[in-house]
């Protein structure tokens, strides 16, 4: 592809500024959400997920371990194991956009993980015993975190590009691109999310009013 000309770089700068402004606005909204309200919406979404046909038919599922400003995924993870499905969680490589999805052996296995400087639990770098999803049978379903979403499926991440890059790798896997479901508080649904051509749309967004 041709490198962007003068107009292209101006457009990219405007898009970057629009994303930063929206991230700031959404972080403020999330900070204002009380713990009880987050828990209420998380429980409601857990029920939606467990009753969802795509979830029920999926065997190999990737899901994020929640940060305080994200839908809490603990109940879904417990159900993945209860249903005898395989569960994979992210390991983010700092100072890059590289992420792997590594297999959890049980819901209790989470307590053996390392807390990173970002305050995220993930398998340590020397934990080589875990299967990486794309080294095996790929994934059927990925639950996507994010800061904001619009109803067209556009997603505003935290700016590192981990999920977009990983989905690019999934597309090269023999099993193909997994179905993607974003989990969001209704406060994270935006009128419109600014996107570039590298931003991958999500197949479906679950939130309270949908």
Could you list the residues known to form a binding site for ATP, using ranges. Answer: 19-23, 155-163
Binding residues: 19-23, 65, 70, 155-163
> Quick one: tokens of 33?
């959400």
Cα separation, 93 vs 77, in Å, equals 23
Q: What is the crossing angle of helices 35-50 and 74-82, to 10°?
A: 30
Measure Cα distances from 144 to 22, 63, 74, 168 in Å.
Answer: 18, 7, 14, 14
Residues near 56 by Cβ (< 8 Å), separated by ≥ 6?
none
Binding-site annotation, residues for substrate: 65, 70
Residue 99 backbone dihedrals phi, psi, to 5 degrees: -140, 145
């Amino acid at each position: 592809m041709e490198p962007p000309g003068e107009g292209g770089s101006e457009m990219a700068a405007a898009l970057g500024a629009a994303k930063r402004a929206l991230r700031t606005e959404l972080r403020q909204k999330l900070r204002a959400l009380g713990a009880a309200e987050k828990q209420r919406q998380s429980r409601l979404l857990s029920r939606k997920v467990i009753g969802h046909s795509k979830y029920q038919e999926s065997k190999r599922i990737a899901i994020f371990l929640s940060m305080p400003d994200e839908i809490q995924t603990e109940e879904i993870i417990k159900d993945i194991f209860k249903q005898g499905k395989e569960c994979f969680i992210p390991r983010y490589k700092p100072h890059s956009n590289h992420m792997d999805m590594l297999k959890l052996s049980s819901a209790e296995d989470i307590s053996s993980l390392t807390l990173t400087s970002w305050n995220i639990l993930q398998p340590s770098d020397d934990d080589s015993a875990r299967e990486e999803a794309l080294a095996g049978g790929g994934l059927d379903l990925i639950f996507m975190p994010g800061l904001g979403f619009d109803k067209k499926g556009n997603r505003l991440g935290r700016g590192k590009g981990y999920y977009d890059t990983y989905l690019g790798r999934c597309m090269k896997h023999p099993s193909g691109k997994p179905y993607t479901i974003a989990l969001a508080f209704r406060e994270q649904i935006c009128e419109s999310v600014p996107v570039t051509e590298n931003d991958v749309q999500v197949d479906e967004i679950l939130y309270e009013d949908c």
